[in-house]
Structure 1
């Protein structure tokens, strides 16, 4: 049983009435020209790091998709790499899929660290529906060969199995005395490219394009999942991209945050009635830094911006190939990030990672550095907190969908979607019936809701009829209508926010609305029991250098 610090009031779930939604017109039926689907995910990118969400970073290709498609103000991931990818690939909550903590085995099925067989992947279901299934980039939901992409429904795969890699080589990453191994795979064959012979973001784009070229010979539609590692650490970029941003961050995070807020307001991302997160007390004011400190910090963000820029360039390359293949008029593209920008620590010592390999300045091959909290505060504008946290900055992502056939250009909607909603969205679009059994195994039913009513302009937000939930490493959250309940480990005390006007999470209403706290907490307990969630203190790993673990967790 979960450890709960007070007695919960079990109450009947009363759903707020909502306007009836028109059933979306599916873009595909059996026997028709079914649409292709491209899913693009980036890694550790903040909510405001695209131009179309307020950034000064050059992202013309994604901005184009936004201008010709739809953006959502509210879309949620699971706040950290592996649990997000588990839900993305299966349409299940991460514990139900077997990755309730990370891609490490904690000894019980909801925390086994790899996708279980009952949770069908996008590759498996699309393939069962007659699609070619292609993946280029990061996997991170199972290292054992039985759990590799080609064994879980993908016809073709190029990329890394784990959570990160150097961008210029496949050497182990520095994690003190326990280097993090890197496995680069192409269609079940280990790859050993020469050091400095490639840049990984470009290779992800190149292999995605190559798979599309090869797929053109097949008389069937395709599903392509492009999982960039950029701008995840280590901060490494090509010199020509870094040069574009020299001097652009001399103003510092405080002034640039004001500029992003202004652009977000102009773009409609930030509405006039919405709060913004208060200044993070752990982030120093830029004008209080010394000259040398400013040089140190601005260099990091120049490289980070260059990494986002290069990712966008590769999105452009994929769009060019799509048009060349004459498939752009019948393809839906969806873009999002796996979590918010990474904060929670401001030194290597707190993360307990030794600089085993750091052979040059930030950005160069062999260097090992990351954005850190000061710049993550800018990246997550206007939201509160960072990756691995369930305040809005931890799991709120930019979200773009493009499908000119049925998505009206330039739309902006509230959305309130979750990554468990993508699988039912894609299957409805493609006209695929989700299997009740697959290869003799009974499949977990899908728990999300189709986004098509929102994407096709028939609704402003998802009408799911139930709350959405999160748990990871003791952090917990519930979203029900405009209300959000959240607690941050090791505390079990709930905070309550009304996101109608306070997405910045500035006013904790828990003491004033104990009725809502009890109602949502009871909803959470029912969900946790149904999905196999257990008290984090029972399963907490002893290894303090697991990727993604925060400094607070390493001290407990």
Structure 2
């Protein structure tokens, strides 16, 4: 009798394990401060063969939206909530209100918490940035394994030779502090720990969710010398010609229409107006920036090779995105500029791409990180799943970060609980993209998409986009289907649409506890309450309002 019971239990266990194995694995890859056109599948000259492959064998979205800046984007990504509802309406600093507490609240469940309840191993390697306190770290919010850094930015190298001038690299692995060793490069370590976690997870027999959150190509500009060498002289053509080349490629790829209106930035000087020495300094910035993206793609190649080695490549959904557009001169003057302790690209570098090259990175869109214009909130999205996604597919979208959680839960067959650990959960406002990914069905969304961050506001409903930049605070209206570069403000001609969309925004803002930014704006330049984290005191930022100030900044780095 006992033998029969044991055999029956063994059969139940084996059936359960087989069912678990049928569930698809999920890999979510997010890069940091990378513009819409910075990878090959979206128009770039930078070598990204692994992303090229994922795009060739998968699906690309023309319109995928983020929240314009690091922490609010990660809040929506991790929870499927609008950032205010998750508790990070501004940044990872506490402004004294629940919508602005600076860490994820308990009513907003993370992807790891939900998928873990559905039998998934939950793994993360990279940047967290949705809660500095240890009670809010990844292992405390559902991840079985974590390696990376908690705050907003990190050096890529061991910086002990510069320890008197810059703070140490602070990393964490499963709640224990670790450090980079001489010769190690953080982008490689992020990919390496993803591989390590996949090897360890393979022994469990479970499906897995792996979140790879690269900090590349976020400042500081630090890259492997051999990667920098690949791009030596490649950017001598300057930003004017390079932007034209990228836009032409985007048109050939079908990412943008042939008659697309192109945005202009009067603050970016003509390349030919620079002196020879100035051009050489600017070239170096882009060489290093390209090298950082190149190395990131190499890491994706390592992860793909590990999937194939483990024979899990046919049953894995991969989604690749960026957290916001490239960084322009988004922080006004008044914040101290960090002086580099070594040449651009080395461990002592605290330089960054800056607005002139970010203008290329965000092609063909307007503006930059931290704004609600397309250049701030538009991201590439590549989805790859050999068993279900038709290769070489393009789709318009329009999709948002809040849609990824419902997508992953549908794919995983994971229920989203109304109560978790005795706390009522927020309903999910997004829609699943699974029908779009697998059968190219159009997204059916009952309500518009909304944004607010540091007074910058936007609404997207159908072809219309209502947008307002702080501190001007005046609504502008654009027909995104005809003018995605936001060059023609149609607000005066369409007062009824402005009225309807602004009323919808007011209702959303009330329901999400959005507060007038002037009432909660923190002290300090650009409203930042101090540094992003202990790694980033006096970070390298430089407002560039005129071409003269831009060039002066390069002469006095």
Task: Compute the TM-score of the two structures, normalised by the length of structure 1.
Answer: 0.90
Secondary structure at the aligned position of 1:74 is classed as strand
Q: Which has the higher helix share?
A: 2
Aligned length: 517
Shift of 1:31: 6.2
Alignment equivalent of 1:328, drawn from 284, 308, 313: 313
Equivalence map 1:274-313=2 (5 Å): 274-277=260-263, 279-313=264-298
Tell me by how many angstroms 1:275 deviates: 1.9
Alpha-carbon distance change, 81 to 171 in structure 1, aligned in 2, over 3 angstroms: farther
Counterpart position of 2:113: 124
Asked if 2 retains the 8 angstrom alpha-carbon contact of 1:65 and 1:400, the reply is yes
Residue equivalent to 1:108: 97
The reply on whether 1:355 has 2:343 as its aligned counterpart is: no
Say whether the 8 Å CA contact 1:121–1:153 is kept in structure 2. yes
TM-score in terms of structure 2 length: 0.90
1:89 correspondence with 2:74: no
Q: After superposition, where does 1:206-217 map in structure 2 within 5 Å?
A: 206-217=192-203
Task: Please tell me whether residue 253 in structure 1 is matched to residue 239 in structure 2.
Answer: yes
CA contact (8 A) 2:169 2:180 kept: no
**What is the alpha-carbon distance in structure 2 between the residues aligned to residue 400 and residue 90 of structure 1?**
20
Q: Could you tell me which residue of structure 2 aligns to residue 365 of structure 1?
A: 347
Partner of 2:175: 188
C-alpha deviation, 1:462, in angstroms? 1.8
Look up the match of 2:452: 471
Distance (whole Å) between structure 2 residues aligned to residue 388 and residue 182 of structure 1: 25
The answer to whether 1:144 aligns with 2:144 is no
Q: Report the CA distance between 1:130 and its aligned residue.
A: 0.6
**5 Å matches for 1:234-273?**
234-273=220-259
Cα distance in structure 1, aligned partners of 2:289 and 2:194 = 23
Q: 1:490 matched to which residue of 2?
A: 471
Alignment partners' CA distance in 2, 1:137 and 1:192: 14
Residue 393 (structure 1) aligned with residue 366 (structure 2): no
Shift of 1:121: 0.2
Q: Which runs of 5+ in 1 are unaligned?
A: 1-28
For the residues of structure 1 that align with 2:189 and 2:213, how far apart are their CA atoms?
11
Shift, 1:394, TM fit: 0.4
SS in 1 for 2:146: strand
Alpha-carbon separation, structure 1, partners of 2:44 and 2:404: 26
1:402 is aligned to 2:388? no
Aligned to 2:536: none
Taking only aligned residues, the RMSD between alpha carbons, in angstroms, comes to: 2.1
Contact 2:71 2:91 in 1 (8 A): yes
1:170 deviation in Å?
6.5
**2:169·2:179 contact (CA, 8 Å) conserved in 1?**
no
Q: Deviations over 1:356-413 (max 9, x none)?
A: 5x22110011211000000000000000000000110001011000001111000001
Unaligned runs of 5+ in 2: 1-17, 533-540, 546-557
| C-alpha contact 1:173 1:182 (8 A) present in aligned 2 | no
Q: 2:32 matched to which residue of 1?
A: 43
2:521 matches 1:532: no
Quote the Cα distance in structure 2 between the aligned partners of 1:107 and 1:173.
36
Match runs of 1:399-548 below 5 Å: 399-459=381-441, 461-544=442-525, 546=530
- Is the 8 Å Cα contact of residues 157 and 347 (structure 2) preserved in structure 1? yes
Report the Cα distance in structure 2 between the residues aligned to 1:173 and 1:377, rounded to whole angstroms.
32
Number of the residue aligned with 1:338 = 323
User: Quick one: distance in 2 between partners of 1:463 and 1:523?
Assistant: 18
When structure 1 is superposed on structure 2, of 313-322 and 266-275 the one drifting more is 266-275
Structure 1, residues 277-335: CA drift from partner, whole Å, max 9, x if none? 1x200000001111011001000000000000000000000000000000000000000
Q: 1:430 to 1:374 in 2, by over 3 A?
A: same
